[in-house]
Amino acid sequence: MDILQIVIVIGVLMLIAKPLGDYLYHVFSNEPNLTDRVFRWVEKPIFALIGVKQRTGMSWKRYAFSFIAINIVLVAISYAVLRLQSGLPLNPSDIGNMEPTLVMNTIISFITNTNLQHYSGETGLTYFSQMAVIMMMMFASAATGFSVAVAFVRGITSKGKSLGNFFEDFVKAHTRIFLPLSTIITLVLVALQVPQTLDLTLTITTLQGSTQQIAIGPVASLESIKHLGTNGGGFFGVNSAHPFENPNPLTNVIEILSMWALPASLPFMYGRFAKSRKQGWVIFSAMMILFLVFLTVAYTAEKNGNPALNDLGIDASQGSMEGKEVRFGMAQSVLFTAVTTAATTGTVNNMHDTLTPLGGLVPLAEMMLNVVFGGKGVGLMNMLMYAILAVFICGLMVGRTPEFLGRKIEPREMKLIAVAILAHPFIILAPTAAAFLIDLGKGSISNSGFHGITQVLYEYTSSAANNGSGFEGLADNTPFWNISTGLVMFFGRYISMIAMLAVVGSLVRKQWVPETIGTFRTDNALFTFLLIGTVILIGALTFLPVVVLGPIAEHLTIR
């Protein structure tokens, strides 16, 4: 039954990914189509309000400037809201203002689509902050990532010079994708028992006669965009493990598909833009093959359970149940974990800190690679970056000038790609090492031994990959962690995005090279495996040593 339910979910994903990719293409191709007729009447007043008259194409620099500008505006307003939240409306539980380093961490976390949370939603945020800051940024960061990815795809596939208009992409991502889908999913989730109310925390007398306070709130409207936007920040501290956020296996499946469908459909959108559906299939297959390998490792490890508990003589046939919920069991917990770190959502329905060493290695490795589907847009961009690298390496081996989609790959692009690829391990490994050198870092570790190394490593990997899940035992709400992870999230998001826009800005200026018999093909099965090989090679070279120190050493000690 476990295998069957996993296969069904993956099957449904395959069914929706391609048509959704076609839809995304129609939204962003800027050629007249049916979606215009449905949505133009909403978009017209929005464009008028924000002052966009002519939606003219932008160079990569203007595109980058525009997305950074809107991010700055949202950050500034949100900072003010969180610092002043106790005096703002909708604060029935009388929650205080947030402390400055925690505000900094929270704001960066949400604008970068990371959603690492050093606060606990029940006690740290008012309903107004949950709505006007958290939910709003979940939309904005997803739309930003999507827009930049679309600009990147336009750049490498079109013969034109422009990347499109940022504000047009940003508005359409809201009006044609995230707002309508979120509203529908919200209502489906409410029908399946996720609460949506502005009432106070409930106080009740339990069956045994004691008092229980139950935090509640506008949960469903956050839940839908949290997954659709691959954000991952929970309304409650324990995120989607909380029965109000994820009350039954069916909501679990809906949440998995919500966070997975858009990232999985982007390769197909790319195939449409490239006028070669095979290009899309190559990218999608590479992602899916890597995903299935990771899923299998995690499932086997969790099902085999924790040897230390299995030895106690109890009935441990169910597998490792510490930190998991009964309604989800093994299959729905492991699938959720594999998808949330693949799609860099970071929502969790079980506690990753409690996973068996090899089970915990899987989410860690998926975030280190950061290309297995990947978050809103960024995963596709990273995968294409590896595709260019693969072409470059193969070109060197056969002694030809490498080309990708009809454009020559030259030193300028390779330098920028090297910066983007090296920045990721650097902002993970350097702060991890630094945290072990000082007590401010070491002191927060809650599980001693090798697992402690993994706790710190996971925190920075999650920040750099803009994932946001955590080994939550780590006592991370301190100025040290708030500031250091804040910086890592910031660099993790903006370095690669700007570098990738610069790559494409340089590519669009080049002459189109016609395809000949000697052109290295990037649309066949061979290239899929070269791509997977490149990803694994780079990932293993950079991360294997630290992985051996953490999860693998822990596995060997409790085996």
Partner 1 sequence: MSIMVHEGQEGRSGGALFWIALRAGVVFIILCGIVYPLVSTGLAQLLFPHQANGSLLRDKDGTLIGSELIGQSFTDPSYFHGRVSSIGYKAEASGSNNYAPSNPDMIARTQASIVQWQQENPDVLIEKLPIALITNSGSGLDPHITPQSALVQISRISKLTGLSEAELASLVNEYTENRDLGVFGEKRVNVLKLNLALKEKLGI
Considering only residues 405 to 424 of the shown chain, the ones binding partner 1 according to CB under 8 A are none
Residues of this chain, 324-383, that bind partner 1 according to CB under 8 A = 324-329, 331-332, 348-351, 353-357
33: contact with partner 1 by CB under 8 A:
no
* Cα 246 from Cα 147, distance rounded (Å): 29
Which of 12, 16, 52, 440 binds partner 1 (CB under 8 A)? It is 52
Which of 140, 416, 421, 546 binds partner 1 (CB under 8 A)? It is 140
Q: What is the nearest approach in angstroms of partner 1 to the Cβ of residue 61?
A: 10
308: contact with partner 1 by CB under 8 A:
yes
Which of 33, 86, 123, 524 binds partner 1 (CB under 8 A)? It is 123
Residue 211, classified by CB atoms within 10 Å of its CB into exposed (0-12), middle (13-18) or buried (19+), is exposed
167: contact with partner 1 by CB under 8 A:
yes
Which of 69, 422, 541, 548 binds partner 1 (CB under 8 A)? It is 69
Nearer Cβ to partner 1 (225/420):
225
Q: Which stretch binds partner 1 (CB under 8 A): 61-69, 97-105, 380-388, 402-410?
A: 61-69
* Cα 519 from Cα 276, distance rounded (Å): 15
Q: What is the nearest approach in angstroms of partner 1 to the Cβ of residue 1?
A: 7
Nearer Cβ to partner 1 (144/528):
144
* Cα 1 from Cα 303, distance rounded (Å): 13
Q: Which two tokens stand for residue 454?
A: 């993994």
72: contact with partner 1 by CB under 8 A:
yes
Q: What is the nearest approach in angstroms of partner 1 to the Cβ of residue 262?
A: 17
Alpha-carbon dihedral sign for residues 118, 121, 123, 124: positive
Q: How many CA atoms lie within 13 Å of 374's alpha carbon, on the beta-carbon side?
A: 26
304: contact with partner 1 by CB under 8 A:
no
- Residue that has been written with the tokens 């499946």 in this structure: 253
160: contact with partner 1 by CB under 8 A:
yes
526: contact with partner 1 by CB under 8 A:
no
Phi, psi at 242, each rounded to 5°: -70, 130
The answer for 399, left when phi > 0, alpha when psi is -120 to 50, beta otherwise, is left
* Cα 247 from Cα 189, distance rounded (Å): 9
What DSSP line would sit under 229-296, residue for residue? Answer: TT----SSTTGGGSTTTS-SHHHHHHHHHHHHHHHHHHHHHHHHHTT-HHHHHHHHHHHHHHHHHHHH
210: contact with partner 1 by CB under 8 A:
yes
Q: What is the nearest approach in angstroms of partner 1 to the Cβ of residue 424?
A: 26
Which of 22, 35, 62, 414 binds partner 1 (CB under 8 A)? It is 62
Residues of this chain, 178-207, that bind partner 1 according to CB under 8 A = 179, 182-183, 186-187, 190-199, 201-202, 204-207
The answer for 31, left when phi > 0, alpha when psi is -120 to 50, beta otherwise, is beta
Buried-state track 256-291, b at ≥16 Cβ within 10 A, e below 16: bbbbbbbbbbbbbbbbbbbebbebbbbbbbbbbebb
CB 270, CB 519: distance < 8 Å: no
Q: Which two tokens stand for residue 481?
A: 């962690």
Nearer Cβ to partner 1 (142/264):
142
Which of 91, 97, 120, 304 binds partner 1 (CB under 8 A)? It is 120
Which of 16, 57, 303, 536 binds partner 1 (CB under 8 A)? It is 57
Residues of this chain, 234-263, that bind partner 1 according to CB under 8 A = 236-238, 241-244, 247-250, 252-253
Q: What is the nearest approach in angstroms of partner 1 to the Cβ of residue 539?
A: 24
Q: What is the nearest approach in angstroms of partner 1 to the Cβ of residue 28?
A: 11
Which of 95, 136, 289, 483 binds partner 1 (CB under 8 A)? It is 136
Q: What is the nearest approach in angstroms of partner 1 to the Cβ of residue 299?
A: 15
Measured CA distances, 66 to 13, 58, 59, 157 (Å): 33, 10, 11, 22
